Amino acid sequence: MTPRPARNGGNDARGGGRGQSGGGQGGGRPRGAPGAAGGSGRGASGGSRGSTGGPGGGSSARAAGGGGSGGRGGRGRPVGGAKTRLGQPGGLSPAPPERDRVDVHDPDGTRLQKILAAAGVASRRGCEQLISEGRVEVDGQVVTELGIRIDPLRQVVHVDGVRVQTDLDKVYLAFNKPLGVVTTMQDELGRPCVGDYVAKRRERLFHVGRLDTDTEGLLLLTNDGELAHRLQHPAYGVRKTYVAQVPGPIPRDLGKRLRAGIELEDGPVAVDSFKLLDSAPGRAVVEVVLHEGRNHIVRRLLEAVGHPVIALARTQVGPVLLGDTKPGKTRALTRGEIGALFAAVDL
């Protein structure tokens, strides 16, 4: 039987979708390549195709969905490809509730783009573009208005999900502590100490964690008390990486034993990672990563497994690397490093 075209089908019929007879039940598949623009198959605009199996076929050709040219209907997909939310009469379910908006504007504050530029995020014009693109958050709220003012000492700003330190009085330094230097800002016995290397700075700095006198390497210095406290708190599990020279050879199963845990006099300790970096007759260089902060933990751990430390250096704290910073020298952390430290301790 020859299929009957839909009444008033006009342009819809030319979209290539033919109805199929059968007692008033339509829904035949279009011939030709599906989705071909202007030919058989689904039209780009997602319009409707009526079934033509009965006398009422003409009206069904104008089903919900807009009836754009070349479109395929029957399921009422909205114009423009927007998806419906199924679950209630009419095919729509309630939209998820939006988070309550908070007014972050401080009329007595400083323009947001000026604060971001001062923090080294980008030029003033570049910061305005970041705001306009919705890439800046203040206290958890996306800000797109260029007139917003905030308090840089009180409010928290993120750009592309990374926190920006807007308090320009805060200082974050990486210091390569030399051998023989005491980890203190002032030593009562007159021994060389960390404070001697930053004595000319106006900020009151303190060290994050400690290194033994006979251990060299990375030590973070800052005047940000909250960040320093969290970096040292065991709940955040910030990893530290050490490179140690020890007597060799290293047994094949040593890494497995250290990851499983070693019992020390003050409780068990397990490394996060252990790696053999180099070996020579009678000596080896190993890398130990752990988040423990107990005194002399690396030395005690390696001695407990029969490989007492000959030389030890810390090369990384969380996301911050010692890099090529020379002993006794400091460098300012980059904005990315500061943001990564904040992220590591949920700030």
Residues 128-145 pLDDT 10s: 999 999 999 999 999 999
Summary mean pLDDT of the chain: 79
Which position among 139, 187, 196, 212 bears the catalytic label?
A: 212
Q: Is the pLDDT of residue 178 over 60?
A: yes
Put simply, whether the predicted model's pTM sits higher than 0.95 gets the answer: no
Mean pLDDT confidence for 273-280: 96
pLDDT of 103: 86
Domains and CATH numbers, the chain: 111-164 (3.10.290.10), 172-234+320-342 (3.30.70.580), 239-317 (3.30.2350.10)
Q: Give pairs for 331-340: CB < 8 Å, separation 24+.
A: 331/173, 331/174, 332/171, 332/172, 332/173, 332/174, 333/172, 333/173, 333/174, 335/119, 335/120, 335/121, 335/164, 335/165, 336/162, 337/172, 338/163, 338/165, 338/172, 339/162, 339/163, 339/164, 339/165, 340/162
Q: Is the pLDDT of residue 328 over 50?
A: yes
Q: Is the pLDDT of residue 97 over 60?
A: no
pLDDT band per the 50, 70, 90 thresholds, residue 279? very high
Task: Determine whether 151 is an active site residue.
Answer: no
Mean pLDDT confidence for 89-117: 74
Contact indicator for 138, 148 with CB cutoff of 8 Å: yes
Beta bridge partners of 219: 175
pLDDT of 25: 42
pLDDT of 291: 92
pLDDT of 26: 40
- Percent of the chain at pLDDT > 90 equals 67
Contact indicator for 157, 137 with CB cutoff of 8 Å: yes
pLDDT of 299: 96
